[in-house]
Amino acid sequence: MQEYLVNLEALMPRLTEAAINIAMALAILIIGWWISSLLGAWVRRAATRSPRIDATIVPMFHSVVVWAVRIFTVIAVLARFGVQTASLIAVLGAAGLAVGLALQNTLQNIAAGIMLLILRPLRTGEYVALSSGAEGTVEEVGLFLCRLVQVDGIHITLPNSVVWGATITNYSRNVTRRLDIPVTIHYSDDLNGALENLAKVAAAHPMVLKDPAPLIKVSEYTDTGTVINVRIWCAAAQYWDLRWDMFHQIRQALAASGFKAPIPVREIQGQPKDASAA
Q: Are residues 40 and 130 in the same domain?
A: no
Number of compact structural domains in the chain: 3
Residue 264 has pLDDT above 80, yes or no: no
Q: What single string gives the DSSP state of each residue in the chain?
A: -HHHHHHHHHHHHHHHHHHHHHHHHHHHHHHHHHHHHHHHHHHHHHHHH-TTS-GGGHHHHHHHHHHHHHHHHHHHHHHHTT--HHHHHHHHHHHHHHHHHHTHHHHHHHHHHHHHHHH-SS-TT-EEEETTS-EEEEEEE-SSEEEEE-TTS-EEEEEHHHHHHSPEEESSSSSEEEEEEEEEE-TTS-HHHHHHHHHHHHHH-TTS-SSSPPEEEEEEE-SS-EEEEEEEEEEGGGHHHHHHHHHHHHHHHHHHTTPPP---------PPPPGGG-
Confidence (pLDDT) at 99: 57
Residue 276 lies in a domain: no
Q: Are residues 150 and 82 in the same domain?
A: no
Residue 275 lies in a domain: no
Confidence band, pLDDT 50/70/90 cuts, at residue 273: low
Q: Are residues 84 and 128 in the same domain?
A: no
Q: What is the C-alpha to C-alpha distance for residues 238 and 242, in angstroms, rounded to an integer?
A: 6
* Percent residues over pLDDT 70 in the chain: 79
Confidence (pLDDT) at 100: 58
Confidence (pLDDT) at 260: 86
Q: Are residues 42 and 19 in the same domain?
A: yes
Q: What is the CATH number of the domain that holds 210?
A: 3.30.70.100
Residue 269 lies in a domain: no
Range(s) of the domain holding residue 74: 2-102
Q: What is the CATH number of the domain that holds 148?
A: 2.30.30.60
Residue 108 lies in a domain: no
Q: Are residues 63 and 135 in the same domain?
A: no
Confidence band, pLDDT 50/70/90 cuts, at residue 12: low
Q: What is the 3-state secondary structure (H, E, C) of 97-118?
A: HHHHHHCHHHHHHHHHHHHHHH
Q: Are residues 7 and 86 in the same domain?
A: yes
Q: Which amino acid is at 262?
A: P
Q: What is the pLDDT of residues 15-37, one digit of tens each?
A: 677 777 788 888 888 888 888 88
141 DSSP β-pair partners: 146
Q: What is the pLDDT of residues 204-238, one digit of tens each?
A: 999 999 999 999 999 999 888 999 999 999 999 99
Q: Are residues 140 and 198 in the same domain?
A: no
135 DSSP β-pair partners: 129
Angle in degrees, 0-180, between the axes of helices 58-80 and 2-49, rounded to the nearest 10: 160
Q: Which residues contact residue 176 at a Cβ distance below 8 angstroms, ignoring those fewer than 6 apart? A: 209, 233, 234, 235, 236
Q: Are residues 184 and 98 in the same domain?
A: no
Q: Which residues contact residue 198 at a Cβ distance below 8 angstroms, ignoring those fewer than 6 apart? A: 183, 216, 228, 230, 250, 253
Residue 204 lies in a domain: yes
Q: What is the CATH number of the domain that holds 23?
A: 1.10.287.1260
Q: Are residues 162 and 189 in the same domain?
A: no
Q: Are residues 153 and 183 in the same domain?
A: no
Confidence band, pLDDT 50/70/90 cuts, at residue 78: confident
Residue 8 has pLDDT above 80, yes or no: no
Q: What is the pLDDT of residues 34-60, one digit of tens each?
A: 888 888 888 778 777 766 666 666 776
Confidence (pLDDT) at 27: 85
Confidence band, pLDDT 50/70/90 cuts, at residue 2: low
